[in-house]
Structure 1
Amino acid sequence: LGKHVIVVANLAPRTMKFGVSEGMILVAGDDDPGLTMPLLDPKTSRPGERIT
């Protein structure tokens, strides 16, 4: 997609159908479960930077 997204990392490993997950892509949505959008990073952020 060519976009930077916000990832929640350093989570306890969890076994999923596809393998082990150790992070999540942060998304936002509303009451419709089919409408979710990844949260994009602020334009001034750098990879690995903490976003609060």
Structure 2
Amino acid sequence: MSERFNERVVLITGAGSGLGQAAALQVAAEGAKLSLVDVNQESLDETKAKV
């Protein structure tokens, strides 16, 4: 996997589901440090666990 986001911080809104969650998982796999935001705490916690 690419390290293009290595040591970068990425803010993702809507990270609890859908495209936001997919983006969070992808950029995390590419080395990003994440700041995740969602209105639904439960789904946000699920994304956090997957990351």
TM-score, length basis structure 2: 0.22
TM-score, length basis structure 1: 0.21
Normalized per residue, which structure has more helix?
Answer: 2
Bigger relative contact order (CA 8 A; separation at least 6): 2
**Which is higher, the Rg of structure 1 or of structure 2?**
1
Normalized per residue, which structure has more strand?
Answer: 1
